[in-house]
């Protein structure tokens, strides 16, 4: 149960200038700038390396990393699923990679059909009427949803300024509402869920929407969601569904049935497209038909057997993404949905819920579990008694997990649980992996404070100065030279 990460002294590509060796090993040529007059290759610093060294470089880097392909990955709220290699293979076909977004519509009918059908599948999965695939991630989907909310009320001549967000929400919810020009009002939760009485008094005539995640970030299903919807609708306000936790409910119920008006999906979470390292992702949004005219342009329409883009939507919130969204990601999600089928997607959700509850039970002697009921696809544990007894924090536990080859859970979120460890095993973990993860958690809880404080011990980078890493970022390589670091 130990893990040793490869520790290569790997130079940057710009520091390698390697000759080709015997065998089939080509020198990867410099890209020549198109306009030599304006672009100087030396200034843009394109390295020249052999094919073999390029391959080694990336393999070495990948060995100094940790991903869903290495081992258990528990990052809560992120749904770190295995990304099927079939989706990767199909998405890297030249039929896909050589598409150009400015090709005439009649030459990309297959791609338009994939997008059109994916929209229909997502509409069915969510119980919405219309879907746009454009947003590049969940947060941008939220932003689009808030712009739609704003457009809807201004079309009715109503000035509603406020958006309600529960205190368990993801930080992107209040950020998206604020960016769309709303004032955010935080709703304190009660027993981890919406306090319906408080909500009733908070929904005044200038409330535009409530943004809700269901199941919420504690893994609790908001049991009174239909009542919540009727309170909002009774005052003319909208209900927004943050779809990041959809992996708990796909095929079981829909946000549409619960009364939501707008939904975003995180394809990189629920639908197993690659995730992490900043993307690319996709965060489509779905709406009930009365909001469809506000969706971003272009919409994809089907006339008989042909598909085309429609830009003629005068009430649309406009464009959100260059061209049509991250097509490669959309295609992978489409493949994933078709591979699983409706029954498969439902079984995945059921298994994800079972796995989370199994793991929760297995570690519940060593960690406190607030809100003792059964959870959906994730649960939150707390290290607060370990902290008061031994000075061990959630951060120490997370760092130590890396020594055992387990990607740590999300920590310090949601904010309403002190020393929180938010754990989401997904349906992908086998029983053996779940048992292994549970024993890692239990073993760490019994370990010496000193071992934990100095962990991780087996990774290339040990504890970094997180403040410095965030505040003093170095994004590009500069050669130190006489004139103070001009790129080579």
Ligand X SMILES: *Cc1c(COP(=O)(O)O)cnc(C)c1O
Name which of 68 and 139 has its Cβ closer to ligand X. Answer: 139
Of 137, 255, 408, 425, which one interacts with ligand X (CB under 6 A)?
137
- Cβ–Cβ < 8 Å for 356, 374: no
Sequence-ordered alpha helix ranges (H) in 210-266: 225-234, 255-258
- Cβ–Cβ < 8 Å for 267, 104: no
What x/- string results for residues 283 through 312 when contact with ligand X is judged by CB under 6 A?
A: x-----------------------------
Question: What does the alpha-carbon distance between residue 270 and residue 87 come to, in Å, rounded to a whole number?
Answer: 15
In order of 39, 136, 199, 268, the CA distances from 278 in angstroms are 28, 11, 35, 11
CB of 122 to ligand X, least distance (A): 15
Of 18, 149, 172, 247, which one interacts with ligand X (CB under 6 A)?
172
CB of 164 to ligand X, least distance (A): 16
CB of 244 to ligand X, least distance (A): 3
What is the total count of residues that contact ligand X (CB under 6 A)? Answer: 13
The Cβ-side half-sphere exposure at 184, using a 13 Å CA radius, reads: 18
Structure tokens at 274: 């690659």
> Is 433 in a helix, a strand, or coil?
helix
Of 10, 53, 222, 242, which one interacts with ligand X (CB under 6 A)?
242
When asked if residue 266 is in the footprint of ligand X (CB under 6 A), the reply is yes
CB of 17 to ligand X, least distance (A): 38
Q: Which strands, in side-by-side order, build the sheet including 238-242?
A: 130-132, 285-287, 262-264, 238-242, 207-213, 162-166, 183-187
Of 259, 274, 281, 409, which one interacts with ligand X (CB under 6 A)?
281
When asked if residue 166 is in the footprint of ligand X (CB under 6 A), the reply is no
Question: What does the alpha-carbon distance between residue 218 and residue 423 come to, in Å, rounded to a whole number?
Answer: 10
When asked if residue 174 is in the footprint of ligand X (CB under 6 A), the reply is no
- Burial class, 465, CB count within 10 angstroms (exposed 0-12 / middle 13-18 / buried 19+): exposed
When asked if residue 378 is in the footprint of ligand X (CB under 6 A), the reply is no
The DSSP H or E segment spanning 441 is helix 431-446
What x/- string results for residues 67 through 106 when contact with ligand X is judged by CB under 6 A?
A: ----------x-----------------------------
When asked if residue 139 is in the footprint of ligand X (CB under 6 A), the reply is yes
Of 72, 138, 286, 328, which one interacts with ligand X (CB under 6 A)?
138
CB of 329 to ligand X, least distance (A): 11
- Cβ–Cβ < 8 Å for 63, 5: yes
When asked if residue 247 is in the footprint of ligand X (CB under 6 A), the reply is no
Question: What does the alpha-carbon distance between residue 421 and residue 267 come to, in Å, rounded to a whole number?
Answer: 24
Name which of 281 and 325 has its Cβ closer to ligand X. Answer: 281
The residues binding ligand X (CB under 6 A) are 77, 137-139, 170, 172, 213, 217, 242, 244, 266, 281, 283
């Amino acid at each position: 149960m130990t893990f040793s990460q490869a520790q290569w002294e790997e130079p940057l590509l710009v520091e390698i200038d390697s000759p080709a060796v015997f065998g089939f090993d080509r020198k990867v040529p410099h890209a020549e700038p198109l306009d030599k007059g304006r672009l100087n290759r030396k200034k843009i610093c394109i390295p020249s390396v052999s094919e073999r060294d390029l391959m080694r470089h990336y393999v070495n880097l990948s060995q100094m990393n940790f991903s869903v392909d290495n081992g258990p990955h528990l990052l809560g709220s992120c749904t770190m699923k295995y990304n099927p290699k079939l989706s990767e293979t199909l998405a890297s076909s030249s039929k896909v990679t050589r598409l150009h977004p400015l090709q005439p519509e009649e030459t990309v009918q297959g791609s338009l059909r994939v997008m059109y059908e994916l929209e229909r599948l997502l509409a069915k999965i969510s119980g919405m009427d219309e879907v746009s695939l454009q947003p590049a991630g969940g947060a941008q989907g939220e932003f689009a949803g808030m712009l739609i909310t704003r457009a809807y009320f201004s079309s009715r001549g109503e000035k509603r300024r406020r958006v309600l967000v529960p205190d368990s929400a993801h930080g992107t919810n209040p950020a998206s509402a604020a960016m769309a020009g709303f004032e955010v009002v935080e709703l304190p939760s009660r027993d981890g869920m919406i306090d319906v009485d408080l909500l009733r008094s908070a929904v005044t005539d200038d409330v535009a929407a409530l943004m809700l995640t269901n199941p919420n970030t504690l893994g609790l299903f908001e049991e009174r969601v239909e009542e919540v919807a009727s309170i909002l609708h009774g005052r003319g306000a909208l209900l927004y569904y943050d779809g990041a936790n959809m992996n708990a409910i796909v095929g079981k119920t829909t946000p549409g049935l619960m009364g939501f008006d707008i939904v975003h999906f995180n394809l990189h979470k629920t639908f197993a497209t690659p995730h992490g390292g900043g993307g690319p992702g996709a965060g489509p949004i779905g709406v009930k038909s009365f909001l469809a005219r506000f969706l971003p342009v272009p919409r994809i329409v089907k006339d008989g057997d042909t598909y085309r883009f429609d830009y003629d939507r005068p009430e649309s919130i406009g464009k959100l993404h260059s061209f049509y969204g991250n097509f490669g990601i959309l295609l992978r999600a489409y493949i994933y949905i078709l591979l699983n089928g409706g029954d498969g997607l439902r079984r995945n959700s059921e298994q994800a819920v079972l796995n989370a509850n199994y793991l929760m039970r297995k570690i519940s002697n060593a960690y406190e579990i607030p809100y003792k009921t059964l959870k959906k696809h994730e649960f939150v544990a707390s290290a607060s008694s370990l902290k008061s007894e031994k000075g061990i924090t959630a951060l120490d536990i997370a760092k130590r997990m890396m020594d055992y080859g387990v990607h740590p859970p999300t920590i310090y979120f949601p904010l309403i649980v002190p020393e929180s460890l938010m754990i989401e095993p997904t349906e992908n973990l086998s029983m053996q992996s779940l048992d292994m993860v549970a024993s890692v958690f239990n073993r760490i809880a019994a370990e010496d404070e000193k071992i934990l404080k100095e962990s991780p011990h087996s990774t290339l980078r040990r504890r970094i100065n997180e403040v410095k890493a965030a505040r003093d970022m170095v994004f590009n390589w500069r050669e130190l030279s006489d004139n103070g670091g001009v790129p080579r």
